[in-house]
Structure formats: structure tokens, C-alpha cells
Structure 1
């Protein structure tokens, strides 16, 4: 699996795997994101799930920054409260820049997941398989009713901002609307997991350029069309 990655990504993943294999506190190393959604290429980030022995979970969680610092030249890192995931550590490594997400969990926490991970290593394959088999991954797709109940309120909010002359706010709202409504609806139409506006160009699911028609410049007329 790792031998298909770009050199930078492969080198980091291999070093991470070796380091965690030598740490008896680590139960398993799993991968998600681009590993399982169309492959990793030059501009991809890396998404890892570090499964920790429950006896050492609090210890490692308290030392996450230092832990990440042992994995390479860590430039900066912060936790993922802004995306509702405080167990996540979002890292930037260098000198050749690489974005790496590390989520720290215990085996019991694997029951709630949005995708089936790739297993890079585990100390107990049977226990991992049993835990993964308890629940199926559930991607958080939204229903037509969800879109309907929100779309008009969000659009009205954008119109109000335009009316006030707050063009940056209106432009931001249009971007938000593409990510939360229009993009996911295009994915829904294509019977694909709803992923905002991710890879819409590569997937070719907007052949009529509907999203492009919502792009605007910092101009009242452009925003209001």
C-alpha cells in the first residue's frame, strides 16, 4: 500500500509506522482520507488514526504535541476543536511541507466512524476486526429535507449582507453555500458521498458549470446576479 505513495508521503508514513510499532502503548495505526478516496498524490495530506492502549490514552493525549514532534520536523500543530474533533491533531511538517492529521483514539472508539480505514499495522488483528465489525461506517450524507430547511435562510442571510454593502460577508456566504448545499447536492445527484466541493472538477459531476456560475468578484452587481 505505502509503495504507491509519492516519495515524501511514503517516507513519512513508513517512519511513522516503524516508530509506532516500536511503542508498546500503540495498538494499531490506521489510515483514512486520500488513502481510501481515490489515492494520494503530490498535493494530498495524510490522515492517520492512532489507536492507543486504554491504559496509556490519557498520557498520550496530554503529550500529543511532544509526541507529534518526535515524528519529524514539526513546524506547527493545533487541535481540532474547530471541526468538533478535539482528539484530532492537525500538523504541518517540514522542511518540505506536509500536512498530516493525527487522530488519537482507543479501540472502543472505533465504533463511530465515517469511513472504513486502511490498516497499516495492528498488534491484535482479531480484536481490531471484531471492533470494526460491530458497526458499519456511516458517511454523514444530508437529506433533501435538510437542504430545504436551511437553504433559503442562508440565502436570505447573504442577501441581507449584500443589502448592507458588506460584500466580503456576502462573498463568504456564497462560498459557504457552495460547500454546504450546492456541492453536496451535486454529489447526491451523482450517488456519491457528499463531500462539500471536494474534487468536483476531477469527478466531473458539474458538467453544466452550476458552481462556476455562483462565483463573484468584490462588486455589488457581481454578487447580486
Structure 2
């Protein structure tokens, strides 16, 4: 929903009321959990349908990572703004990931060593969402969106990611962590990116992970 700049603040206060006048609103909440307070996540119906409503200023409309379908454009201005500015290509920040990855691996290994398997299982989900999913998407030229649609856009990588799944089992959890490390190394190497690799941290973190796995077996 594209709003005139001068009306934006007042519209933001009335979003749920407006949505309720457009559809049979069942429930809705704002999108701060995904870093997007302009978003309203809703259920409408019945039959129940999940609909996300994002409210943006006219002046911000052209800032995007992909082209939207415009359903209604009062004077053609929205189409013109898209034509003037191409989408911004979204790619994973590989240096940011590398700066953190081996600290994360050590964190997961400490939880495994303590037997906090729920923590390990949650941590593996985070690695797929924040690291491995975006790398998998980048391998096929798709925008990084965690693991969303990965089975359809990157089926080979999605199949490889199955190795990072585990049940509530210490041995399985350790093997899943090792699988995550192997995939990260391979997929990062395949990018050929010129980033600073933290090899010393990598060696120590992986050695620690192996030590924890050996002690648990």
C-alpha cells in the first residue's frame, strides 16, 4: 500500500481499521519481529488466508530488491518511479558471516557438551536461516530469504541441508553441527569471494567441536 508522504503518519495509526474495511479481518499484528514495522501480518476470512500488508511512502516505493506487480496506479507515478530506479540486488554479507561463524560454532558445541539439546536444535535452525539458507540461495542466483522456498528454488542445496537436521539425540546433534560446518566451508569456497578468512578461529572451533563430540560418544 503506497501512501502520500504527507498522509503516511496518520495512515500508520489507522492500518488495522483500514484493513478491516477492505477485508474480513480476523487478526493482525505489526512486523517488528522481522525488522519491518511498516508491515501488518494478518489473517482474513473465512476461509482463512494469510495476507501481509506493507505500507510505504511514495518516496520510498522504488527502494526494492525485486519488481512488484502494481495492481492500481492512480496516475502512473508508481510505474514511472520503478522505471527510473532498478531493484537493488540483495546478496549475503559474506564477511559479516565469516566474522561470526566460528564463534557461533563454538557456541553450538558448548551447548552440545552441556547436553542442552533443545538449544542445539534451535541453534541449527538459526544457522540454516542466517547462514546456510542465504548461501544456498546465492548459489542459484536467488535473493537470500533464509530458507523460504528453498526446496523449489535450490533443490540440490535443500537436499544437502537435510544433514543439518537432527532429533533429540546427542550423537545426531553433533553430526548435524559438523554437517553445517562442512556445508559452510564448501559453499563459501565456491563463491570465490575475496574476504578475510579467520582460519585460526576455524581450526580451534572445529577442534573443540570434535572434542565435545568425542567426549559425548
Fold-level match, TM-score > 0.5? yes
In the TM superposition, what whole-angstrom CA distance separates every residue of 1:176-216 from its partner, at most 9, and x where no partner exists? 10111112212222232222212222234426832001100
1:214 aligns with 2:168: no
1:116 to 48, 67, 88: 67
In 2, Cα distance between the equivalents of 1:143 and 1:53? 33
The answer to which of 137-146 and 69-78 deviates more is 137-146
CA contact 1:200–1:206 (8 Å) conserved in 2: no
1:158 is aligned to 2:89: no
Structure number having the greater strand percentage: 1
Q: Counterparts in 2 of 1:61-100, with a 5 A limit?
A: 61-100=12-51
8 Å CA contact 1:68–1:74 kept in 2: the answer is yes
What is the aligned partner in structure 1 of residue 212 from structure 2?
none
> 1:195 and 1:96, CA in 2 relative to 1: closer, same or farther beyond 3 A?
same
Find out whether 1:198 has 2:142 as its counterpart. no
1:106 to 54, 57, 66: 57
* Mapping 1:50-65, distance limit 5 Å: 50-65=1-16
May I ask how many residue pairs the two structures share in their alignment?
A: 175
Residue 91 of structure 2 corresponds to residue 141 of structure 1: yes
Cα distance in 2 for partners of 1:201, 1:140 equals: 20
Measured at CA, do residues 207 and 113 of structure 1 come closer, stay the same or move farther in structure 2, by a change above 3 Å?
Answer: closer
Q: Which has the larger radius of gyration?
A: 2
Identify unmatched segments of 5+ residues in structure 2.
176-217
TM norm structure 2: 0.73
**Aligned mates of 1:208, 1:101 — CA distance in 2:** 26
Of the structure 1 ranges 69-78 and 207-216, higher mean CA displacement relative to structure 2 is found in 207-216
2:121 to 150, 171, 174: 171
Question: Which of 132, 136, 156 does residue 186 from structure 1 map onto?
Answer: 136
Give the structure-1-normalised TM-score. Answer: 0.71
Which runs of 5 or more structure 1 residues have no equivalent in the other structure? 1-49
